[in-house]
Structure 1
Amino acid sequence: MTIKNKNIKGDSLGQSALGSDVRWTGDLKRQRNAGPSLSHKDWSGAGFSTRAVHAGTMDDEVSGAVGTPIYQTTTFILGDEQYRSVEEGYARDRFIYTRYGNPNQWALQTKLAALEGAESALVFSSGMAAITATVLALVDKGAHIVSSNELYGGTYNLFNQELPTFNMSVSYVDPRDYAAIEAAIKPNTQILYFEALTNPLLKLVDIKRLAAIAKRHQLRLIIDGTFLTPISCRIVEMGADVVIHSASKYLNGHSDVIAGAVMGSRKLVDMIWPRLLTYGGSLDPHACFLFERGLKTLSIRMAAHQKSAIKLAQYLATHPLINFVYYPLLDSHPDYQLAKQVLNNGGGMIALEVQGGDSAALKLLDQLQIPKQATSLGGVESLISLPYNTSHAGFTSKQRTQMGINPGCIRLSVGIEDAQDLIADFKQALACL
């Protein structure tokens, strides 16, 4: 089946991608401001740390408070502008109801867009809410997707369990086999969906090559950038149409907020917004406040993550009980040359394989004192887990082996603790094996 105008879905519509009778987004071709942010200064020419601190953040004119207050309200007083925005189909541009938009959401979204170098951004109640809304906004019923064979388990479940109910299908390929990616494209393919850095083995994809393939075949390119923040690389500027983040990880950075984020052109983000409304994935004002606060230290946090991670990775790579260590900025990493070209920061994720299989890996985790055994990643504290019983528990042993996830594989999210303390902890724990 060939889908007509697959590359411009919704572009010329005067209504939402939800249907001809829904007019939330208005004319997608008209020019808009970035949104109803109460902070009007342009920080696009500033450095990353300056943007992280100031972009989007608004001082309270009533009290003089430095920083965005929490607008803990469900609804807003309606005036002529609000009524007109609903009538004309651009309700996203006004404060009407917090599920549609809230000053805390817009302060945060403005900051995210400034950091990514994107026109617009949306925040969600989780990373999976962001992924689901984005994918379903940018494909039609019956569409085909080409994606990585090394996906986050939640995304894999969405693709394998939910999308087939819409008569959609997905082909999975090696994320670094660009000939196979192109060969997998069908007449009804509408998007390429890949993770910038794969989980857990940290394969780095060439986003510019993926963007060239997408452009050649008139497809949208969606990149999950969770493992690589805008401090590492600006994925939209590299050619992706949309970048998605599980903001619960590095962007918030303190393991205290569940959130998701999408950044891209204003036109595409406007197409995604109605799905946020329909699926109820709005982020509440207090979570937005915490998330915005976390973003302010993103630049210095990522520098600390990298500093400790690379020193620990170098130590582990020399240990006789470790079969391999993957970290993008180690010269032994298969994608090291690409990493040197495109990454300004290697992040804090390390993958390693310990001799003795999963039983030895479990013993190692039990002996460690600093890293906490927990799912998730990107917090200021080090977190450690085994993919076989956490992120990839839903896959069979054969599937994991095909992905390269062998017995003894460990995923480590290095926090901002001092490298010498982490090295000493791993040294004593490995001595117990």
Structure 2
Amino acid sequence: MAFNENRHDGVEPPLSPDTLAVHPWASARGRPRAHRTLNAPLFLSTQWEGSDLPQLAELFARDPDRGFYTRFGHPTTRLAEERIAALEDAEDALLFSSGMGAISTSLLAVLRAGDHVVAHQAIFAQTIQFLEHLSATAGVRVDFVDARDPQRVKDAVRANTRLLYLETPSNPAIDVLDIATLAGIAHTVDALVFVDSTFAGPLIQRPLSLGADLVIHSASKSLAGHADVLAGAVAGSAQTAARIRRMRVLTGASLDPHACWLLLRGLQTLPLRVRAQSQTAGSLAQLLEASPAVSHIRYPFLPSHPGHAVARRQMALGGGMLSFALHGGVESTRRFVGALRWIPLASSLGSVYTTLEVPEELDFAAEEIGERTASFALPPGLVRLSVGVEAAEDIEGDIRRGLDAVLSAT
């Protein structure tokens, strides 16, 4: 069954994504009922009582989301899944206990021994690790290629290619990949196309409309938006979602209902947050590009970005993520970080807080992802900056403070 009720039938125009993000019942069918709660309800129960054995069996077999056992489904979870499906204009969506829960469960659901996967070479480190794990233990062949060049993907696909795995913009390199072109290549051999769209989100980029079969989010990031939820999400066709749903029951990677409720609340401010973050990030990218301390800058809407033209075609905004490197490498990066007054070092991204991370010293070290998948090179001391919603002048002031420290030392 498809759950996205915003897929309009030509009678009424579809609602704006801004409205779908904010209103708890906007994706529900028909006019809201009287006395329905304005806020989404939270049911703090892991199990439900059946009126008799046949009725409980019916819930288990056909409609566990109404209330059976939370690992199978939950009413609050379903409300959040319907909201994400509506935002992505998807037939269905599923939530998971983390972004990696969403990724690993989805891969396990669609891949079998003997299958071949083509993946962009510069994706999230733990996604690379999981694909390497499948290659080492489950008989799945994985080839990592530079998907910025569609010809390399075309050369890599083969008759048994079952999946093309993309991430755009990518973490942390901010690579921009042409989803429509790459999906067209993959579909010539009937391969599925998964796109991790965490760095963009549904108000900036809709991979399904560009030919992807599944869009993946670490919902802990911009979807929830307040650094208080660990969650993952996928959205796609009802058929693909059904396969992944069955695997989620087996892996147990279901999302806690209270986290679903917090996610729903976070989504209500998503339109405001992504616009503010994109505007500030665009200004910061220009500031960094103009600084003599900066040797490398990547932001999708900077004309100097190699994927700028693609970004302008498939993204409505530049987003809140950028990366840059400094002349002097790691030592300059440490000097930059040490001079900051209030922007914190943090391991995550996409929330209301401006944060930065130096991936080289954390999860993107070559030894953690395997030498053969580390053929791409990040500039030494690369900084990944996640722009929040604080006053733009305060963020800019702290960034200038770090840049001045680097310049004064050189």
Q: State whether TM-score is above 0.5.
A: yes
Do the aligned partners of residues 56 and 192 (structure 1) sit closer, same or farther apart at CA in structure 2, a change above 3 Å counting?
Answer: farther
Separation in 1, partners of 2:164, 2:273? 31
Alpha-carbon contact 2:121-2:373 (below 8 Å) kept: no
Do the aligned partners of residues 204 and 104 (structure 1) sit closer, same or farther apart at CA in structure 2, a change above 3 Å counting?
Answer: same
Q: Which amino acid aligns with 1:429?
A: G
Alpha-carbon contact 1:122-1:273 (below 8 Å) kept: yes
Is it true that 1:74 corresponds to 2:46 in the alignment? Answer: yes
Separation in 1, partners of 2:125, 2:266? 26
Deviations 1:268-316 (A, max 9, x none): 1011001111111010110000001001111110000001101111111
Identity between Structure 1 and Structure 2 (%): 34
Q: 2:117 aligns with which of 136, 139, 145?
A: 145
Residues 112-151 of structure 1 aligned to structure 2 (within 5 Å):
112-151=84-123
How much does 1:391 deviate?
Answer: 2.8
Deviations 1:156-210 (A, max 9, x none): 1101124421111200000212111121123322111110211112111111011
Is it true that 1:416 corresponds to 2:389 in the alignment? Answer: yes
Separation in 2, partners of 1:170, 1:182? 15
Is it true that 1:363 corresponds to 2:335 in the alignment? Answer: yes
Q: Which amino acid aligns with 2:92?
A: S
Separation in 1, partners of 2:12, 2:126? 35
Separation in 2, partners of 1:324, 1:243? 29
Q: Which amino acid aligns with 2:16?
A: G
May I ask how many residue pairs the two structures share in their alignment? 395
How much does 1:418 deviate?
Answer: 2.1
Is it true that 1:334 corresponds to 2:306 in the alignment? Answer: yes
For residue 172 of structure 1, give the secondary structure of its aligned residue in structure 2.
Answer: strand
Alpha-carbon contact 1:147-1:171 (below 8 Å) kept: yes
Alpha-carbon contact 1:55-1:110 (below 8 Å) kept: no
For residue 210 of structure 2, give the secondary structure of its aligned residue in structure 1.
Answer: coil
Separation in 1, partners of 2:161, 2:374? 28
Aligned to 1:53: 22
Aligned to 2:76: 104
Aligned to 1:161: 133
Alpha-carbon contact 2:2-2:91 (below 8 Å) kept: no
Do the aligned partners of residues 265 and 179 (structure 1) sit closer, same or farther apart at CA in structure 2, a change above 3 Å counting?
Answer: same
How much does 1:402 deviate?
Answer: 4.1
For residue 287 of structure 1, give the secondary structure of its aligned residue in structure 2.
Answer: helix
For residue 323 of structure 2, give the secondary structure of its aligned residue in structure 1.
Answer: strand
Normalised TM-score (structure 1) = 0.86
Separation in 2, partners of 1:329, 1:365? 25
Aligned to 1:354: 326
Do the aligned partners of residues 202 and 44 (structure 1) sit closer, same or farther apart at CA in structure 2, a change above 3 Å counting?
Answer: farther
Aligned to 2:380: 407
For residue 372 of structure 1, give the secondary structure of its aligned residue in structure 2.
Answer: coil
Separation in 1, partners of 2:4, 2:150? 37
How much does 1:404 deviate?
Answer: 3.1
Aligned to 2:58: 84
Deviations 1:346-378 (A, max 9, x none): 111111111111111012112112321011110
Residues 200-239 of structure 1 aligned to structure 2 (within 5 Å):
200-239=172-211
For residue 405 of structure 2, give the secondary structure of its aligned residue in structure 1.
Answer: coil
Is it true that 1:380 corresponds to 2:352 in the alignment? Answer: yes
Separation in 2, partners of 1:202, 1:139? 27
Separation in 2, partners of 1:33, 1:43? 18
Q: More helix by proportion, 1 or 2?
A: 2
Deviations 1:1-40 (A, max 9, x none): xxxxxxxxxxxxxxxxxxxxxxxxxxxxxxx25299xxxx
Separation in 1, partners of 2:281, 2:258? 31
Alpha-carbon contact 1:105-1:285 (below 8 Å) kept: yes
Separation in 2, partners of 1:217, 1:262? 23
Separation in 1, partners of 2:2, 2:156? 38
Deviations 1:362-408 (A, max 9, x none): 12112112321011110111110111012303547977984231213
- Gaps of at least 5 residues in structure 1 are 1-31, 37-41
Alpha-carbon contact 2:355-2:387 (below 8 Å) kept: yes
Q: Which amino acid aligns with 1:84?
A: E
Separation in 1, partners of 2:154, 2:373? 24
Q: 1:431 aligns with which of 400, 404, 410?
A: 404
Separation in 2, partners of 1:379, 1:417? 11
Separation in 2, partners of 1:43, 1:303? 27
Q: Which amino acid aligns with 1:409?
A: L
For residue 119 of structure 2, give the secondary structure of its aligned residue in structure 1.
Answer: strand
For residue 311 of structure 1, give the secondary structure of its aligned residue in structure 2.
Answer: helix
Alpha-carbon contact 2:65-2:72 (below 8 Å) kept: no
For residue 209 of structure 2, give the secondary structure of its aligned residue in structure 1.
Answer: coil
Alpha-carbon contact 2:193-2:213 (below 8 Å) kept: yes
For residue 261 of structure 2, give the secondary structure of its aligned residue in structure 1.
Answer: helix
Separation in 1, partners of 2:298, 2:233? 27
Aligned to 1:13: none
For residue 131 of structure 2, give the secondary structure of its aligned residue in structure 1.
Answer: helix
How much does 1:138 deviate?
Answer: 1.0
Separation in 1, partners of 2:112, 2:282? 43
Alpha-carbon contact 2:354-2:388 (below 8 Å) kept: yes
Separation in 2, partners of 1:250, 1:421? 21
Aligned to 2:159: 187
Alpha-carbon contact 1:91-1:100 (below 8 Å) kept: no
What's the RMSD between the two structures over aligned residues? 2.4
Separation in 2, partners of 1:43, 1:293? 27
For residue 363 of structure 2, give the secondary structure of its aligned residue in structure 1.
Answer: coil
Do the aligned partners of residues 44 and 154 (structure 1) sit closer, same or farther apart at CA in structure 2, a change above 3 Å counting?
Answer: farther
Aligned to 2:3: 34
Do the aligned partners of residues 60 and 237 (structure 1) sit closer, same or farther apart at CA in structure 2, a change above 3 Å counting?
Answer: closer
